[in-house]
Amino acid sequence: MKLRTLIFILLFFCHLTYFVQGQTATLCSWNIANMGGSKDDSEIAFMASVIKNYDIIAIQEVSTTPPGAQAVARLADALNRSGGKWDYRISNPTSGEGSERYAFVWNTSKARLSGKPWLADSLSALVNREPFLALFISGSDTFLLATFHAVPKDKNPASEISKLYKLDHLYEK
């Protein structure tokens, strides 16, 4: 089987569709501000209702405190209760100013994780919060998914975004 790789840099909440030899995998990226203990059950249920129709979700701004990881687990639990089987992985805290975590959440009937997701540490000197990457398999294709949370507009996010071309060198084609 030939390994095909794609990079998706997910910067905003958006709907992307990846076509896989007659199948599709829908991707969503969402910056859920301060994903942690501040999110009550009704907010978690709302998030689950929004993302349940996607196959793979990238989340930015997960709190680095224990309630951040717990909120992602609560979201996966809400998705599991809404139907299907969902799994997730949470990154280590990013290294820059305004440290946060990222998460990938996915429907296991549509995609599966290959290996362990990782932070792109090689970019930590170039960007404030290094991207989080994971290899996913959907159908017979394997693709690399990256999520990234750029600095705010007043800190010139374009300068960080221009460095992301280096992601292409982080995996073997």
Q: Say what the pLDDT of residue 171 is.
A: 63
Q: Which residues pair with 58 in a beta bridge?
A: 29, 104
pTM: 0.84
**Is residue 11 predicted with pLDDT exceeding 50?**
no
CA dihedral over 160, 166, 64, 103, signed as positive or negative: positive
Report the pLDDT averaged over residues 62-87.
Answer: 96
Q: Read off the pLDDT of residues 31-53 as tens digits, 9 standing for 90 and up.
A: 998 999 999 999 999 999 999 99
Q: Read off the pLDDT of residues 112-149 as tens digits, 9 standing for 90 and up.
A: 999 999 999 988 888 899 999 999 999 888 888 999 99
In angstroms, rounded to a whole number, what is the distance separating the alpha carbons of residues 157 and 160?
5
In angstroms, rounded to a whole number, what is the distance separating the alpha carbons of residues 112 and 85?
11
Report the pLDDT averaged over residues 97-105.
Answer: 94
Binning pLDDT at 50, 70 and 90, where does residue 22 land?
low
DSSP strand pairing (23-35 vs 7-10): unpaired
Q: Average pLDDT of the chain?
A: 85
Q: Say what the pLDDT of residue 3 is.
A: 34
List, in order of start, the domains of the chain with CATH numbers: 7-169 (3.60.10.10)
pLDDT more than 90, % of the chain: 61
